[in-house]
Structure 1
């Protein structure tokens, strides 16, 4: 039996992809899945070229570390170019390759798990099972390195590393009590995704997430524990959402620990191997093709994050100096105290037909008019083009919602 959260839906999930585009007000929009927010430098450059040649030049980062390209003039040619770049490994599965991962990948702080290999293995396993092409486009997997940065995002299926060298499985953010070594993580996560399809009622295909199934985490856990290859429970299953541990922000100077779910900040962090991770803010989550190329050239490994930032990894201190200067010159934010920290906005006009204002332009104008001494607002500020408030961040937020008579300001409770 399913709960009523999706009772008002009248059609199956129409989440856009690279092949199934969304007809936005400013033209077709494609969403390109980048599992773990990862792509090679050549692939990032190919995306930049696609946005210039086939689109309007607007590249958006999503809260799942994917990218959207707006205003496509030839969706078919766009998709062909992506396939040539290796960004569409399975046409049937391209909308279900939803995997977020800890951007630092076990390199710093409490992170103990190298997520890159697990993300690649999970992506191959998803694409290798024809049945899993039937997952909704909203179904989300996560691989947490043990720092807790993505474990708190409420993904449908999460594997999070632990200091003992093992890890545990979360379903819809809840601890299942099931744990295994990292080499068993992908089979366990795939089994959980298949169990979701088993538990989803045949007459309710509009259930898109595990949390939309009544007692979904418990029912799927029961299926997993009956599986012949199921790992033994490591703890008693609980029903409360897991609270991820506090993680330190990536900043060059000392700063208070970052609250789980708080906004990410720009700056540097020293990796365990002595190299540097450099995070940059992307104003309002929008990149130009030139900025994406600058990111591609910034270091040996680049990861997009669920906070609409980007991290360049494995830099020497000298390389970090050069990358910081180049990315700042490209218009990306390297100062952790910049007024851009915590300022977000939905698409607004002209891209969204429901929007009542060009919130992107208004937010940029608002930041530009701040005094030079102004720093990041103490509370995040979100600009919304209508009452739907798309893209609203988690946690306390000051909302500026466009109405027919200007903006309505609301304060966090």
Structure 2
């Protein structure tokens, strides 16, 4: 691929200027955020934007119609978002793209990948070199059920059982099988190797699939795909899904992926956590059975 422009995927500190005002994107690791944070963000959207919160296909959030000057949104808005805890690593805000099976650790799946996602995020944000990744570089962590493994990705894994996973390198290649405890470090090493090959400036590659070998350059040898990765599953049905611990996870349809103030108020009163899904819906987990 030949590209002659740099990545402009939006964030808070690098908004996209649209016809209706600035658009900012807030990245959520595994789609998770507190219900109180969602409520506070809704108030921010009402004060600075058009009042709504928009869900993305990568389980992130967007605000629209924000005033701007010289390509920047007001510093007071940035401060408000930081105070809510939704800008934890300003230098790395664009690269915290980590998709995870939304119900991992709660309903089915072979392993709970929430701790792994947090470790990857911490390792990414701890090293300045990773801030140069493109804003669309994506880590995908599938807990073995096959709900997110079919999506385009840069690096990731599929859990094979409670303790092991097979790494993924781009959309075309599979890596070695590793203990889940070692998976974060292995993915970070692959990320660092990609940065060493991607080039620089306007012609730098954004994705592993853009490498001449579509990512084979990052592997020390070809690896066969483990048959246990040959799984697929549809999104969970809307309504209550029984968790493995007997509680319930409520899957809520979000029309057009738009969280209106009214819908936010309803969601925030249900439970302490919200999970944004890659299907532009939300899940409210850990509800007591009724």
Any residues of structure 2 matched to 1:9-408 within 5 Å, and which? 9-73=3-67, 75=73, 76-109=75-108, 111-163=109-161, 165-202=163-200, 205-222=203-220, 237-238=223-224, 244-247=230-233, 249-251=235-237, 266-318=238-290
Aligned counterparts of 1:307 and 1:98: Cα–Cα separation in 2: 15
Following superposition, the deviation at residue 164 of structure 1 comes to 5.3
| Larger RCO, structures 1/2 (Cα 8 Å, 6+ apart) | 2
Q: TM-score, normalised by structure 2?
A: 0.91
Q: Distance in 1 between matches of 2:115 and 2:217?
A: 29
| Alignment match, 1:337 | none
User: 1:254 aligns to what?
Assistant: none
Cα distance change on mapping 1:202 and 1:248 into 2, 3 Å: closer
The CA deviation at 1:175 is 4.3
The answer (yes or no) to whether the contact 1:282–1:310 under 8 Å persists in 2 is yes
| In structure 1, distance between residues paired with 2:209 and 2:225 | 12
**How many equivalent pairs are there?**
284
Is the 1:147–1:244 Cα contact (8 Å) retained in structure 2?
Answer: no
Distance, in Å, in 1 between the alignment partners of 2:218 and 2:81 is 35
Q: Secondary structure at the match of 1:151?
A: coil
Deviation at 1:249, TM superposition (A): 4.8
8 Å CA contact 1:199, 1:220 repeated in 2: no
Answer yes or no: is the 8 Å Cα contact 1:48–1:290 preserved in 2. Answer: no
Change (3 A) 1:309 1:90: same
Task: Give the secondary-structure state (helix, strand or coil) at the position aligned to 1:216.
Answer: coil
Do the aligned partners of 2:172 and 2:214 also contact (CA within 8 Å) in 1? Answer: no
Show structure 1 runs of 5+ residues with no match: 226-235, 252-265, 319-413
Report SS of the residue matched to 2:23. Answer: strand
1:272 shift after superposition = 1.4
Q: 1:201: Cα distance to partner?
A: 2.8
SS in 2 for 1:313: strand
Q: Please, which moves more after superposition, 148-157 or 73-82?
A: 73-82
Q: CA RMSD in A?
A: 2.1
What's the CA shift for 1:205?
A: 3.7
Contact 2:198 2:204 in 1 (8 A): no
**SS state of the match for residue 43, structure 1?**
helix
Please state how far the C-alpha of 1:162 moved relative to its aligned partner. 1.4
Structure 2: how far apart are the matches of 1:173 and 1:296? 36
Compute the displacement of 1:71 (Å).
0.6
Q: Show structure 2 runs of 5+ residues with no match.
A: none
TM-superposition CA deviations, 1:81-113 (whole Å, max 9, x none): 11111111121100111111110013223x022
Superimposed CA distance per residue, residues 227-250 of structure 1 (whole angstroms, 9 cap, x where no aligned partner): xxxxxxxxx61489x975132652
Conserved? CA contact 1:176–1:217, under 8 Å: no
Give the Å deviation of 1:290.
Answer: 3.0
Give the secondary structure class of the aligned counterpart of 1:127. Answer: helix
Deviation at 1:51, TM superposition (A): 0.3
Q: How many angstroms does 1:203 deviate by?
A: 6.6
Of 25-34 and 179-188, deviating more is: 179-188
Q: Which moved more, 1:188-197 or 1:171-180?
A: 171-180
